[in-house]
Amino acid sequence: MIVQIRAKDVTLNDDKKAHIEAGIEKFKKYSLDITRVNCIVAAEKHGVLVEFEIHVAHTAPIIISERDEELDAAIDIAVDRATKALRRLHDKVTDHKAPSLKELEVN
C-alpha cells in the first residue's frame, strides 16, 4: 500500500503525521486490496480540510472529505468515516460470496 500525505498551507509536524498514519493503519484490518491512500490536509478560511482518497483494487476510489476547526478532530472524524465505508465494502464483498438459499435447503 502506497501512502502519500500532502499539506497545503499547513505545517504538519511529526505528531500530526503519526496521527494520520495511525488512522491509515486501521484501514488494513478489513483485508481489502488497498493499493494507494492519498491524504490531503489543507487550510481553509475557517478551519482545515482533511481528505482521504482510498484506492481499492477492482472498485471505484473511496473519497472522504472532512472540514473542522481543529486538525485533530478533522482527522479523527475522517478516519471514522473512512473505516465505516471500508467496513461496508468489506461486508458487501464477503456477503456476496455467501451460499445461496438453494444450497441451504434441507432435503
CATH number for the domain that contains residue 44: 3.30.160.100
- Decide: helix, strand or coil at residue 51: strand
Residue 90 lies in a domain: yes
Can you give the residue range of the structural domain that contains 22?
Answer: 2-96
Residue 52 lies in a domain: yes
Cell numbers 441451504 label which residue?
104
Can you give the C-alpha Rg of the chain in angstroms?
Answer: 17
Residue 82 lies in a domain: yes
pLDDT for 95 = 74
Residue 102 lies in a domain: no
Listed residue (4, 60, 58, 6) closest to 36, CA to CA: 4
Report the distance separating Cα 68 and Cα 80, nearest Å.
Answer: 14
Show pLDDT as tens, one digit a residue, over the chain (107 residues): 899 999 999 999 999 999 999 999 999 998 888 999 999 999 999 999 999 999 999 889 999 999 999 999 999 999 999 999 999 999 888 876 666 666 666 55
Q: In what order do the strands lie in the sheet with 62-68?
A: 2-8, 34-44, 47-56, 62-68
Angle between helix 71-96 and 14-25 (nearest 10)? 20
pLDDT for 105 = 62
Listed residue (59, 8, 10) closest to 36, CA to CA: 59
pTM of the model: 0.84
Residue 105 lies in a domain: no
Residue 106 lies in a domain: no
Q: How many domains does the chain have?
A: 1
